[in-house]
Structure 1
Amino acid sequence: MIIQQIFTEKVAHSSYILAGDRNCAIIDPRRDVDIYLKMARELGVRITHILETHLHADFISGHLDLAERTGATIYAPEKGNCDFEHVPLKEGDIFSIEDIELQVLETPGHTPEHISYVVVDTARGKEPIALFCGDTIFVGDVGRPDLFPGKAQELASRLYDTLHDKLMELPDFCEIYPAHGAGSLCGRAMASKRSSTIGYEINYNYALEIKDREQFIGSLTNNMPEAPDHFSRCSDVNRIGPEKMKELRNPEPFSNSEFRERIGKAIILDVRSFESFGGQHIPGAYNIDLNSNFPTYSGWLLPPEKDILLVTDNYFQALDACIQLHRIGMDRIAGYLEEGMYGWVTEGLTTGHVPQISASELHERVTEEKELTIVDVRAVSEYEDFHIEGAVNIPVHELRERHVELDRDVDTILICGSGQRSSMGCSILLQKGFSDVRNAAGGMTGYAAAGYGPECPKCVLPWAPFRNIGSDLP
């Protein structure tokens, strides 16, 4: 028996090959499936089974593409009520791949229909050796139960039963293979390690150490990170069956005139670095750096009903952006600006700018006797850990609505951890009619590295008149 993990960066998704001598299963495949075909060929096995643990909320599954290209059978939770052809599975079902026996457990909690696969290598023994647990239990964490409005308490209670009555009853040596690792928003405190054992998690997973049901429910239904917008869309796409990748065309190259004709009917997504976007960009564009957590923020910030026009440094960057957008179901990609911003500016076309300021410049600005708004666009938990005194915290995705809390007539500097999210925020504020916005290049990381403390002596909150905050300090 062979188990190989495929980890997809940024969405922090783990899928798996479970192989015997001749045949194999793919568990929770991502949408672009060539990697599984390549790995199966390298192992000398045929893909015969496609196993889904649940209807994924954070990415689009590749089950239909993989089934079409291999002839493999899809297995999915019976309670998922999937529209595509599949074998529905429920508690107690058992099937085999050569000497590998897979036993199905219904493991609701993260989602109502969730199942897990208990693996027994019958060639070696009768006890479970591995568990493909999807988003039920992670290394250092458990699946969040709050993705379904009004059902968080119920699902958290069911997750408690799943963990204590089923998974924690498996042998301590049973290996666990979750569908996500650190960086995913399907949990709150996942470790960087990508696999573990039941015994280790019983001893060191904070959630499993909570024995009281009500305390457990409270810990998973309070102060959870916000779920990105696409989480509410992907589950149903996966249930119905996503459009196949072969039906999605490669990005079309547009000349400047062709690109301009489409502006107004589509959104512009500039995937270049925040430094490049700050120097020159097409007015009205979103900036989501391809090197950031690009798929998550694209699914969070972009309106899904609009076509997308890409601004990239080159064709290969456009292809990469398309793959990452397809992974979270953003399929309406019209094309990309063929000659990039160089071709745009050399034709004399209009551009916008976002001044980038360094940590020392930021420190000078916040100590001047001038009105100033600093908007910290990081998550609330990051802000609470360390921030500039007087900065207002509006997470970047909330700027779409909460921009009305800011004074357009006051100089506004946006800051995050590095400069990427704050550049996203700058692009949103520019769309909302702000003109004087600046990006803190290097973010709080650079500000701290330059030796400046988290306290800002003088700053204006957007809902209050200027005051000398420094006078309030001891």
Structure 2
Amino acid sequence: MKIEQIYTGCLAQGAYYIESKGEVAIIDPLRETQQYVDKATNEKATIKYIFETHFHADFVSGHVDLAKKTGATIVFGPSAETEYDAYVAKDNEEFKLGDVIIKVLHTPGHTLESATFLLIDENGKDHAIFSGDTLFLGDVGRPDLAVKSDLTEEDLASMLYDSLRNKIMPLADDVIVYPAHGAGSACGKNLSKATVGVLGEQKQTNYALRADMTKDEFVKEVLDGILPPPQYFAKNALMNKSGYTDFDSVLKKGDVALEANEFENIANHEGALVLDVRTEQEFVRAHIPNSIFIGIHGGFAPWVGALITDLQQPILLVTPEGKEQETVTRLSRVGYDNTLGYLKGGIEAWKEAGKDIETISSISAQELANRNKSSKIEILDVRKDGEYKSEHLEGDNVHHFALDYINDNMNSINAKQTYYVHCAGGYRSVIATSILKARGFDVIDIAGGYEALKKTDLPKTDFVCPSTL
């Protein structure tokens, strides 16, 4: 028996390759599936099953493509309904894989069809659970993503409480836990950086598995502090339920080198968004007018999903050399399948063609402190709510303007006002300034973000409620 976790940091997501006696099961595969086919081929094995722990909201799974390529059976937990061929398992149903067994434990709560897959080894011993978003290390899945008209998030949280206590906690302490996500995922609140653990440790340390916890206490604690889900979550879940364009076609359409004139014509005629994925420093120095920055070296895919509201938005890319295919791939992982090509030769080719470029005004933290002494300036802090609450600049000219919700709050700022924008280190503030600048706002980026601002004599404060604009 072989188990391999294939972890993708950008999504904080774990897919799993399980092999026994030449038969393979893939759990929660990524959108690009050739890697699994190649791995099975190299090991002279056959992919027999594709197990999906639930309809994922934070990424588009590769289950549909992988089934078409291999003929493997897609397996969901009870109550799942799909628009493509899939096997909907019964609770406690067992699937033979070589010398091992994968048992389906229906664990609703995160979603109604959520399932945990119990791996029983060659000797009949419970070996591991692939817990999806039901159980994380340090947390459990948020129960607010599958609310229907006749169900509330409290109802789903109650189901999750029962699932954990009736299906997972009775298992032996030495059972290995392989979750779908680690720290950085928006599918939970307090996920561990670890990506593999054991159940006994979780029983001792995970707040949601406290032995003396009542259902009412669980519901209250698991719902406390949950922020609204990113806008793309529901759209990705629908793609995972309904199906999607095959990845190879998406990559072929997007991996097209365009000369500067052709790039500009497509941008104008197709209403394409120019997405620049270089570093923030490169973008600040020179970029195509009205382009948006989301650097591929940061939390690229989740930020794209949070900020670009239309999955069908035509996109043109400005990328570092050699990162073209990777960028198209990472966009497709969160459902953005309409990339139309990339700028051949990058920003230098654009300049050589005589095209206009723009820059971002950027000043140091100390220069901000100096300007704040001589005149009243307006400062936007675009960090997350928890970051802002822990510490921020003090003053009625300091406003919390979280990047996550910039599209919802655009009307709360004044187009006639100049704003100085900072985040923690500089990545998110350049994203924010690029969006605001493209929409006609006068913005200045603070290089180095709050880490640099902490070293100045600007007044700072501990927790207060964030100001509203």
TM band (smaller chain)? over 0.9
CA contact (8 A) 2:28 2:51 kept: yes
Counterparts of 1:323-472 in structure 2 under 5 Å? 323-366=329-372, 368-390=373-395, 391-435=398-442, 437-448=443-454, 450=455, 455=460
Q: Which one-letter code corresponds to 1:189 in the other structure?
A: N
Q: Which one-letter code corresponds to 2:439 in the other structure?
A: K
CA change 1:454–1:106 in 2 (3 A) is farther
Structure 1 residue 411: deviation in Å? 2.8
Q: Counterparts of 2:209 and 2:447 in 1: how far apart (Å)? A: 40
CA contact (8 A) 1:11 1:295 kept: yes
Q: Which one-letter code corresponds to 2:390 in the other structure?
A: D
Q: Counterparts of 2:406 and 2:16 in 1: how far apart (Å)? A: 38
Counterparts of 1:206-217 in structure 2 under 5 Å? 206-209=207-210, 211-217=213-219
Q: Which one-letter code corresponds to 1:169 in the other structure?
A: P
SS of the residue corresponding to residue 262 of structure 2 reads helix
How many residues are paired up? 454
Structure 1 residue 218: deviation in Å? 1.6
Select between 131-140 and 266-275 the one with higher mean Cα deviation.
266-275
Q: What's the counterpart of residue 263 of structure 1?
A: 267
Gaps of 5+ in 1: 465-474
Q: What's the counterpart of residue 33 of structure 2?
A: 33
- 1:5-59 deviation per Cα after TM superposition (whole angstroms, max 9, x unaligned): 0001110110111111211111110111122233334444222111111111111
1:136 aligns with 2:124: no
Structure 1 residue 171: deviation in Å? 0.9
Q: Which one-letter code corresponds to 1:378 in the other structure?
A: R
Structure 1 residue 417: deviation in Å? 1.4
Structure 1 residue 438: deviation in Å? 1.2
SS of the residue corresponding to residue 15 of structure 1 reads strand
CA contact (8 A) 2:177 2:199 kept: yes
Q: Which one-letter code corresponds to 1:428 in the other structure?
A: I
Structure 1 residue 441: deviation in Å? 1.8
CA contact (8 A) 2:399 2:468 kept: no
Q: What's the counterpart of residue 467 of structure 1?
A: none
CA contact (8 A) 1:145 1:156 kept: yes
Q: Which one-letter code corresponds to 1:63 in the other structure?
A: H
Q: What's the counterpart of residue 187 of structure 1?
A: 188
Q: What's the counterpart of residue 102 of structure 1?
A: 102
Q: Counterparts of 1:401 and 1:432 in 2: how far apart (Å)? A: 14
CA contact (8 A) 2:272 2:316 kept: yes
Q: Counterparts of 1:49 and 1:20 in 2: how far apart (Å)? A: 12
Q: Which one-letter code corresponds to 1:228 in the other structure?
A: P
Q: Counterparts of 1:214 and 1:453 in 2: how far apart (Å)? A: 44
Q: Counterparts of 1:455 and 1:291 in 2: how far apart (Å)? A: 30
CA contact (8 A) 1:371 1:411 kept: no
CA contact (8 A) 2:385 2:402 kept: yes
Q: What's the counterpart of residue 67 of structure 1?
A: 67
Counterparts of 1:81-160 in structure 2 under 5 Å? 81-121=81-121, 123-124=122-123, 126-149=124-147, 151-160=152-161
Gaps of 5+ in 2: none
Q: Which one-letter code corresponds to 2:257 in the other structure?
A: P
CA contact (8 A) 2:12 2:183 kept: yes
Moved over 6 A (4+): 461-464
CA contact (8 A) 1:140 1:189 kept: yes
Q: Counterparts of 1:221 and 1:380 in 2: how far apart (Å)? A: 16
SS of the residue corresponding to residue 423 of structure 1 reads helix
* RMSD over aligned Cα atoms: 2.0
Q: What's the counterpart of residue 291 of structure 1?
A: 297
CA change 1:454–1:132 in 2 (3 A) is farther
Structure 1 residue 389: deviation in Å? 1.4
Q: What's the counterpart of residue 472 of structure 1?
A: none
Structure 1 residue 127: deviation in Å? 3.3
SS of the residue corresponding to residue 137 of structure 1 reads coil
Q: What's the counterpart of residue 279 of structure 2?
A: 273
Structure 1 residue 145: deviation in Å? 0.6
Q: Counterparts of 1:42 and 1:331 in 2: how far apart (Å)? A: 30
Q: Counterparts of 1:379 and 1:178 in 2: how far apart (Å)? A: 25
CA contact (8 A) 2:77 2:91 kept: no
Select between 49-58 and 29-38 the one with higher mean Cα deviation.
29-38
CA contact (8 A) 1:141 1:188 kept: yes
Select between 341-350 and 2-11 the one with higher mean Cα deviation.
341-350
CA contact (8 A) 1:66 1:72 kept: yes
CA contact (8 A) 1:274 1:423 kept: yes
CA contact (8 A) 2:21 2:99 kept: no
Q: Counterparts of 1:148 and 1:107 in 2: how far apart (Å)? A: 14
- 1:374-404 deviation per Cα after TM superposition (whole angstroms, max 9, x unaligned): 1111110111112111321111132223232
Q: Counterparts of 2:182 and 2:134 in 1: how far apart (Å)? A: 12
Structure 1 residue 423: deviation in Å? 0.9
SS of the residue corresponding to residue 374 of structure 1 reads strand
CA contact (8 A) 2:59 2:334 kept: yes
Select between 232-241 and 39-48 the one with higher mean Cα deviation.
39-48
CA change 1:145–1:452 in 2 (3 A) is farther
CA change 1:463–1:396 in 2 (3 A) is closer
Structure 1 residue 463: deviation in Å? 7.6
2:258 to 254, 257, 279: 254
Q: What's the counterpart of residue 16 of structure 2?
A: 16
Q: Counterparts of 2:447 and 2:371 in 1: how far apart (Å)? A: 14
Q: Which one-letter code corresponds to 2:181 in the other structure?
A: H
Structure 1 residue 60: deviation in Å? 0.7
- 1:61-110 deviation per Cα after TM superposition (whole angstroms, max 9, x unaligned): 11122222222222122412112112211212112112211211110111
SS of the residue corresponding to residue 287 of structure 2 reads coil
Select between 51-60 and 86-95 the one with higher mean Cα deviation.
86-95
Q: Counterparts of 2:411 and 2:161 in 1: how far apart (Å)? A: 41
Q: Which one-letter code corresponds to 1:375 in the other structure?
A: L
2:288 to 282, 291, 302: 282
Q: What's the counterpart of residue 168 of structure 1?
A: 169
CA contact (8 A) 2:142 2:222 kept: yes
SS of the residue corresponding to residue 401 of structure 1 reads coil
- 1:134-190 deviation per Cα after TM superposition (whole angstroms, max 9, x unaligned): 110001110011123563111111101111121101111111111111111111101
